[in-house]
Amino acid sequence: MPLWCSARLSLAIWAFFGFFLLYALRVNLSVALVDMIELNTSLNKNITSNVCPEHSPTPVAPRNTTGKSYPWDADMQGWILGSFFYGYIITQVPGGYLARRFGAKLLLGFGILGTAVFTLFTPLAADLGAGFLIAVRVLEGFGEGVTFPAMHAMWSNWAPPLERSKLLSISYAGAQLGTVVSLPLSGVICFYVDWSYVFYIFGTLGVLWFLFWISMVSDTPETHKTISLAEKEYILSSLSQQLSTQKYVPWKAMLKSVPLWAIVVAHFSYNWTFYTLLTLLPTYMKEILRFDVQENGFLSALPYFGCWVCIIVCGQFADYLREKKNMSTVCVRKTFTAIGMIGPAVFLMAAGFIGCNYEVAVVFLTISTTLGGFSTSGYSINHLDIAPSYAGILLGITNTFGTIPGMVGPLVAKALTHSLSFALPTRKGHNFKDWFRLQKMAKRRLYIRYAIFPVEDPQL
């Protein structure tokens, strides 16, 4: 049954836009926060930012300076950036369970709607104080936590086995493109207008998406109003031997499942790098590499553009290998997961040794994040392979563990870079001998190469 002009492709496209907005709503604070902080409290006592020289030309257009600024120190910034995940982690498993029990369409829709509404209240919360802003971000995470488990549960009823990589990569690639668009666009809005409009614009778009989602998609092929009879029979027949008819959830069997715990390890490992970069890359671009707010947004988005392209291509390629080359699903998932783990780790650690070489830093970060896109056709889809009937719940379990890096990553990075006092090798000097000598002299202190690298990436 052709994929083009099909109801399942329409679902993938609407999901794509949903996750596009979901990540735009999630990451816009990372850029806006750079503009929200008073200059003298940006990275308190961190003299590393003085090593890399200014290199950006003075913008021709005058910058808008009407936005309010707040005296939040590095520790408070870490709490603000990480607070989202304290709400996000709570609703992972409940989201998967509720999606299976009552349907995923409304759960996913209201999850994104709630995130959009609370985003609209972000400027007011910031005015009231850091505590209110943290509370709003927690509530945003609470609503957004149900979305990925709900989407997995929805695809368990819609995605034929040999099309899973294609359909899921299309829908989840929206998250990467949302990051690609929102980071530079947020920078432009901050520069020309006011940081508060970052939240007003994206929040409004999220509300509009919800109206289309409610009217255009259905929970299952049986309830879809415009699906063709041929497509409906194709989907149902391909899934007839895949889905379980039992109503109870085998929690004990899940917790004993070795493949499930392998996915947990992979999910946690990948997310440590991903979430730390997602929340702190704009700060790194400003405080370490010294890019202005406009360059910051565009360069911070570049790695995620590469990842978006990689996800789309890998989704097609993974299903091609399974269908045309007769490679086993296990082999494809393991291969793509290994590339998506080891590749980013190598280039991310290499980026820690290039000092103030701006071009190489951006290239290494871009390659690192791009290679991470292989993981979407690896462990990220594997829930549907091992137990499609419970895919939403399984994703809720693994994403619960995968959320922990988002909670602690910004705090660890901010704490470790609170009072750095060593020199980075610059592009001209490349004085690595002095650099290692200074590191050796730092007794009982844990340092990192840059503000965004709290630990080495684990490998699966």
Mean pLDDT, the chain, as a whole number?
A: 81
The whole-number pLDDT of residue 40 equals 60
The whole-number pLDDT of residue 150 equals 93
Q: Span 320-336, mean pLDDT?
A: 90
**pLDDT interval class at 102 (50, 70, 90):** confident
**pLDDT interval class at 294 (50, 70, 90):** low
The whole-number pLDDT of residue 434 equals 46
The residues pairing with 37 across neighbouring beta strands, listed in sequence order, are 70
pLDDT at 411 over 80: no
pLDDT at 457 over 80: no
Tens digits of per-residue pLDDT, 6-43? 899 999 999 999 999 999 998 888 888 888 887 765 44
CA 69 vs CA 11, 65, 130, 298: distances in Å: 41, 10, 12, 23
Choice between 201 and 357, residue whose per-residue pLDDT is larger: 201
Q: Span 332-361, mean pLDDT?
A: 87
| Direct distance between the N- and C-terminal alpha carbons of the chain, in angstroms, rounded to an integer | 36
Q: Span 171-186, mean pLDDT?
A: 87
Q: 40-44, 322-326, 363-367, 381-385: lowest mean pLDDT where?
A: 40-44
pLDDT at 406 over 80: no
Choice between 343 and 45, residue whose per-residue pLDDT is larger: 343
Full-model pTM:
0.76
**pLDDT interval class at 274 (50, 70, 90):** confident
Looking at mean pLDDT, say which of 198-212, 272-286, 439-453 comes out highest: 198-212
